[in-house]
Amino acid sequence: MSKTWLITGASSGFGRSLTEKLLARGDRVAATSRNTQALDDLRERHADRLWVEALDLRDLHAVRETVDHAFSELGRIDTIVSNAGYGVLGAAEETTDEQLRDIVDTNLSGSIVLIRSALPHLRAQGGGRVLQVSSEGGQIAYPGFSLYHATKWGIEGFVEAVAKEMAPFGIRFTLVEPGPARTNFGRGLVQPEPIAAYDGTPAHQTRDALLSGDWIVTGDPERMAATMIAVVDQAEPPLRLVLGKTSYHAVRDALSTRLNELEAQREIAFSTDYQAEELA
């Protein structure tokens, strides 16, 4: 039985791969993008099953209108894929207020409003799925990507809480945490004006490694997209889906370090509570 999906950022990267695979298997897709012309070839081949609308996630009013319009036009939408996003590569001090506003508005606020706007429709139809494309950067942090990590850690906290709120309504969420993949993510990076004082420091070492091409990217976006689709098809999908060896090892190391730090503070944590005799 075919399904209907709404995908943001559908013109490139994971969004494009997902859209192509879903159309190929006979599903319907409501695809949004700031660049809808990049979807013209798919519209020509799948005009009856591909609904396209221009959307900039920074325009929160437009996000709400687009979600309502998609449900009105297509009826039931089984899965929402919040995929659109980008990165800012630079030390925190190098970034501008405008760059901060734009990435938060796109990666965090836009994603939140997209999901919030879909929830009444999903509840009314008796359930559905939400796939939020996050990143390994939602659980770890590279120097030089502070603004990006702020948005990904933020959307992970939002989704984890909302997943608990929506469980009684049959709405299931999955946070997708891919490691580096051979998409066009690198070409879309915003790069602030560098400050020479950071040369040779971790922030610029990350930037230099990424821009030099020496950073070997092993993640296959096609395999990752196929796995995302397979997870949505599961009766009980995981809350988090880690994709790629790089992501697996990075997230595992980060969680292990965090747990070790927590355990080392056990006595300190307990010492800050009222004692049993004080509560008696």
120-164 per-position pLDDT tens digit: 999 999 999 999 999 999 999 999 999 999 999 999 999 999 999
Count of domains for the chain = 1
CATH number at residue 53: 3.40.50.720
The domain in which residue 156 lies consists of 4-246
- Is 206 among the domain residues? yes
Place of tokens 């906290």: 157
Q: 246 with 218: CB under 8 angstroms? A: yes
- What φ, ψ does residue 199 adopt, rounded to 5°? -60, 130
Model confidence pLDDT, tens digit, residues 205-245: 988 888 887 777 788 899 999 999 999 999 999 999 999 99
Which pLDDT band holds residue 280 (cuts at 50, 70, 90)?
Answer: confident
- Of 111, 117, 134, 146, which one is the catalytic site residue? 134
Let me know if 111 is a catalytic residue: no
Annotation says 134 is catalytic = yes
94 occurs within a structural domain? yes
Segment (H or E) for 52: strand 50-54
The mean pLDDT value of the chain amounts to 94
pLDDT at position 211? 81
Catalytic residue among 33, 152, 198, 247: 152
**Which amino acid is present at 229?**
I
Residue at 212 is within a domain: yes
Residue 260 placed within a domain = no
Distance CA 240, CA 228 (A): 11
183 forms bridges with which residues in the sheet? none
Is residue 159 a part of any domain in this protein? yes
- The answer to whether position 267 is within a domain reads no
- Residue 104 to residues 11, 88, 154, Cα–Cα distance (Å): 21, 11, 9
Catalytic residue among 146, 148, 198, 247: 148
Q: How large a percentage of the chain has pLDDT more than 90?
A: 88
CA 178/CA 181 separation, integer angstroms: 7
Token reading at 252: 């595992």
Q: Please count the other Cβ atoms lying within 10 Å of the Cβ belonging to residue 126.
A: 10
Q: Tell me the per-residue pLDDT of 48-65, one tens digit each, with 9 for 90 and over.
A: 999 999 999 999 999 999
Q: What is the mean pLDDT of residues 115-124?
A: 98
pLDDT value of position 184: 72
Question: Per-residue pLDDT averaged across 111-124, rounded?
Answer: 98
How is residue 238 written in tokens? Answer: 């995981």
> Does residue 256 form part of some domain?
no
Q: 148 catalytic, yes or no?
A: yes
**Amino acid found at 214:** D
Residue 279 falls inside a structural domain: no
